[in-house]
Amino acid sequence: MNESINIFKISGLLTLLAFTLMAYIPGVAQEPQRPWMNTSLSPGVRADLLIKQMTLEQKIQLLHESSAVYKRGGWQYVPAALGGDGYVPGIAPLGIPDLQLVGAGLGVTNSGRGYKGRSTALPSSLAETASWDPKVAAEFGTVIGKETRDEGFNVSLGGGIDLARDPRGGRNFEYHGEDPILAGTIIASELRAIQAQHVVATIKHYALNDQEAGRTQWLSSILHVIQPSGRFLVSANLDVRSMRETDLLAFEIGIKESGVGAVMCAYNRVNGVYSCQNSYLLNDVLKKDWDFKGWVMSDWGATHSTVKAALSGLDQEFYASRYFSWRLKKAVNENLVPMSRIDNMDHRILRTLFAVGAIDHPPVVKPIDARADALVAQHVEEQGIVLLKNTGNQLPLNPSSVHSIAVVGSHADVGVLSGGGSSQVDPVGGNAVSLPLTSTPHIYAPKVWDPSSPLKAVQAMAPNAVVKYNVGTDFASAAKLAAASDIAIVFANQWSTEGADLPNLDLSGDENQLIEQVAAVNPHTIVVLETGDPVLMPWLDRVSAVLESWYPGQRGGEAIANILFGVVDPSGKLPITFPRSESQLPRPRLPMPPPGGGYFDINYFEGLKVGYKWYEANKIQPLFPFGYGLSYTNFSFSGLQITPTLTDGSQSIQVSFDLKNDGARDGAEVAQVYLGFPAVVGEPPKRLVGWAKLDLPPGKTRRVTVTIDPKSVAHPLSFWNFSVDHWDIANGVYTVYVGDSSADIHLTGTIEVRHPRS
């Protein structure tokens, strides 16, 4: 027995000796010890363990882009870069993967060299937000996250949430409307879904990048190539209270409710200081007040310094890497930037990669599930289409009673329009329309029509009807076809793009005149709008129905047809107010850079009064109010109850009421709750604090409860008290409004707040 034990001991010692010797034999592979790969540890601990093993050169390497190198003949991609929007080389011996970044606000935009297919074109973010449904936003984000991974990328650059302070903003279609609580709630759901796919999501453009700043003429588009456009030169100026309750509140909700990994700072200045070296925005608000644990990346070319940017909270530079490569290393060696700050930058990046699973679950390139993802795009569009007018129940169309249909305009025979710029998706199936470059004179040309034919979708819905198409460029020809048809459907568009604000809110070209001509000969004229912003409608009284379809996405034609024929009941609600004219806006004329270029200001003097709050505060009646949208059925509200009736400001308030479907069809309603503050607070007349979207069969009633939680990240019962620099609750009587838009209020009540002061 003792001999056996000794034999085992000797054998074990020999084995240990063998492994020890192997460690010193050249050419024998060894698995390095990587305690940071222990998934039972927290992401923060794993990041700290890893940073301890990194040299200064390795730390700096993660803080700037390295997509290309300059060689004789020009810039050439680094072989490992997939060719998306950005690349940061990893550190393979330490298990740090390459960061492969790609734009994905409305779908994956640039598949680069790593993936040869195309991506699913999702509807615009305004369509997503018009659903008022976080579940729809989660579907939207899941498609983005999956396709980002499937195409080999691990960082998604979507997530735009700048508020629509001006309806002419060139990127409004990428953003989520004018209300911070609605926008923040929707984008938070989207970002959570992206990161559930082990992809780092980004929220942008932080902050007050609310418009592209005046570049509206075609000449400006050409000049953009040789000098900075307005967004590089403008200072967006706004007082702190208004900033915290509007634009920054949208970011606060989106960031805190999603756990998003990265924040992209903007091109513009805020109150005279560049966003990417604005210590108030990056350090004081984002990292201290909101306890943001991810990293701040610059927009492409938005870095303006090394030491100031690093100390002000910027963590990573993109494009050209002029400031955060050798200059940053030099600043560290000269003690201008402490090593602790470099470690914090890297900690934020690495912790995020661990937290979302980008290191533990690296992407594997494979074909996207194009069919399934296109159906998601269709569902988002169906939930986001807004029925603006429906005189005499023109809609839904009955295929058995319609014998002839004229479809006119906007290339509706082959596709649906999309917005331009860095969010432009190369859709599955390719661009349905080929236009000469001169027809879209802008740096981000050409225009892209996603290949989903409304004409074919309408034909499929009405197989026994004669359905004919007219391009709409010859008004007499279009009117002749419309006059000979039972129904005329005019598709009209307004193209907007990154890099330029719209000169006005008119439809493209002569489309207003086209609609007028068609409506004059056919009383059953339906207008389908494909727009990235609100539009003016001088023809509104002469058409029977109007649908706002936004930019409809991969199966937009099918979604539009399903709404037109009642397969799906319209339930979308406007996330942005439609004015009657530009004269109703805070700035009837857009500010422009001075002649010859140079810095200029946009003074947001309207402050808290963004969108519907501006109209109500100034008693202006818009064309269509925020939250507006019709259905094919009717709903009624009754039985309002608010509990408690008296609160100390710490209790949740329950707003309960009955919602009934009074019509004969299934339908969905978005019941909206607004709050009016005591006059002493100086708030706009009312602001959105909650909502509920419900599907109801005909004749059915449901009791609805919307909770106003004063401890919520949305701060629904609070105002920003500048004198003490934090959120505060005022004593007094608050008015509760319940309705189906900001202007259509069906129930009102009050609650008294007595907030004890310490």
Q: Considering only CA atoms, which of 175, 270, 212 is closest in space to residue 603?
A: 270
CATH of the domain at 455: 3.40.50.1700
Domain span holding position 520? 371-574
Q: 418 with 341, same domain?
A: no
From CA 426, how far away is CA 428, in angstroms rounded?
Answer: 7
Structure tokens given for 640:
């309002």
* 80-89, 589-598, 677-686: range with highest mean pLDDT: 677-686
Task: Check pLDDT > 50 for residue 14.
Answer: no
Domain end among 528, 554, 574: 574
Q: Can you give 318-383 as a three-state secondary structure string?
A: CCCCCCCCHHHHHHHHCCCCCHHHHHHHHHHHHHHHHHHCCCCCCCCCCCCCHHHHHHHHHHHHHH
Coil/strand/helix, residue 682: coil
Q: For the chain, what is the mean pLDDT?
A: 91
Q: 384 with 438, same domain?
A: yes
What is the pLDDT confidence band of residue 20, given thresholds at 50, 70 and 90?
very low
CATH of the domain at 198: 3.20.20.300
From CA 593, how far away is CA 500, in angstroms rounded?
Answer: 12
Task: Check pLDDT > 50 for residue 320.
Answer: yes
Q: 351 with 391, same domain?
A: no
The set of residues, in sequence order, having a beta carbon less than 8 Å from that of 273 and lying 6+ positions away, is 280
Rg value, the chain, Cα: 28
pTM greater than the 0.75 cutoff: yes
Considering the domain boundaries, does residue 620 fall inside one? Answer: no
Q: Considering only CA atoms, which of 458, 457, 461, 435 is closest in space to residue 448?
A: 435
Domain end among 551, 574, 597: 574
Q: Provide mean pLDDT across the span 317-321.
A: 87
Q: What is the DSSP letter of 257?
A: H
Q: What is the pLDDT of residue 43?
A: 98
Structure tokens given for 319:
């494009």
Alpha helix stretches (DSSP H) within 56-152: 56-61, 125-130, 134-150
Considering the domain boundaries, does residue 141 fall inside one? Answer: yes
CB 262 within 8 A of CB 628: no
Q: Provide mean pLDDT across the span 591-605.
A: 86
Q: What is the pLDDT of residue 67?
A: 80
Considering the domain boundaries, does residue 41 fall inside one? Answer: no
Domain end among 313, 331, 355: 355
Q: 482 with 447, same domain?
A: yes
Q: What is the pLDDT of residue 596?
A: 73
Segment holding 623, helix H or strand E: none
Q: Provide mean pLDDT across the span 591-612.
A: 90
CATH of the domain at 678: 2.60.40.10
Q: 538 with 566, same domain?
A: yes
Considering the domain boundaries, does residue 45 fall inside one? Answer: no
State the sign of the Cα–Cα–Cα–Cα dihedral 13, 18, 24, 30. Answer: negative
Q: What is the pLDDT of residues 422-479, one digit of tens each?
A: 999 999 999 999 876 555 445 555 799 999 999 999 999 999 999 999 999 999 999 9
State the sign of the Cα–Cα–Cα–Cα dihedral 265, 271, 273, 278. Answer: negative
Q: What is the pLDDT of residue 19?
A: 38
Q: What is the pLDDT of residue 117?
A: 72
Q: What is the pLDDT of residue 73?
A: 64
Q: Provide mean pLDDT across the span 481-507.
A: 95
Residue 158 or residue 270, greater confidence: 270
Q: What is the pLDDT of residue 28?
A: 37
Q: What is the pLDDT of residues 623-675, one digit of tens each?
A: 999 999 999 999 999 999 999 999 998 999 999 999 999 999 999 999 999 99
Q: What is the pLDDT of residues 374-431, one digit of tens each?
A: 999 999 999 999 999 999 999 999 999 999 999 999 999 999 999 999 999 999 999 9
CA angle 291, 292, 297 (to 5 degrees): 150
Instruction: Give me the torsion for CA of 712, 717, 720, 721, rounded to 10°.
Output: -120
Q: What is the pLDDT of residues 285-295, one digit of tens each?
A: 999 999 999 99
Considering the domain boundaries, does residue 126 fall inside one? Answer: no
Q: What is the pLDDT of residues 693-751, one digit of tens each?
A: 999 999 999 999 999 999 999 999 999 999 999 999 999 999 999 999 999 999 999 99
Q: 393 with 512, same domain?
A: yes
Q: What is the pLDDT of residue 83?
A: 85
From CA 193, how far away is CA 433, in angstroms rounded?
Answer: 32
Q: 317 with 179, same domain?
A: yes
Query: How far is C-alpha 271 from the geometric centre of its chain's CA atoms?
Result: 24
Q: What is the pLDDT of residue 31?
A: 42
Q: 392 with 451, same domain?
A: yes
Q: What is the pLDDT of residue 33?
A: 81
Exposure string of 685-719, with b = 16+ CB inside 10 Å and e = fewer, is bbbbbbbbbbebeeeeeeebebebbbebbbbbbbb
Q: What is the pLDDT of residue 72?
A: 63
- Backbone phi and psi for residue 19, each to the nearest 5 degrees, phi listed first: -65, -35
* Domains contained in the chain, number: 3
What is the pLDDT confidence band of residue 499, given thresholds at 50, 70 and 90?
confident
CB 510 within 8 A of CB 174: no
CB 159 within 8 A of CB 191: yes
Q: What is the pLDDT of residue 27?
A: 39
Q: Which residue has the tokens 């598709």?
A: 491
Residue 81 or residue 450, greater confidence: 450
Q: 81 with 228, same domain?
A: yes
Residues above pLDDT 70, as percent of the chain: 90
Considering the domain boundaries, does residue 101 fall inside one? Answer: yes
Task: Check pLDDT > 90 for residue 521.
Answer: yes
Q: What is the DSSP letter of 122?
A: P
Q: 409 with 482, same domain?
A: yes
- Backbone phi and psi for residue 144, each to the nearest 5 degrees, phi listed first: -60, -45
Q: Which residue has the tokens 């349905």?
A: 432
Structure tokens given for 695:
């599907």
Task: Check pLDDT > 50 for residue 222.
Answer: no
Q: What is the pLDDT of residue 268?
A: 96
Amino acid at 755: H
Q: 346 with 477, same domain?
A: no
Considering the domain boundaries, does residue 65 fall inside one? Answer: yes
Q: What is the pLDDT of residues 115-162, one digit of tens each?
A: 667 999 999 999 999 999 999 999 999 999 999 999 999 999 989 999
Q: What is the pLDDT of residue 13?
A: 42
Residues above pLDDT 90, as percent of the chain: 83
Considering the domain boundaries, does residue 674 fall inside one? Answer: yes
Q: 341 with 382, same domain?
A: no
CA end-to-end distance (rounded Å), the chain: 78
Q: Provide mean pLDDT across the span 97-115.
A: 85
Q: What is the pLDDT of residue 592?
A: 79
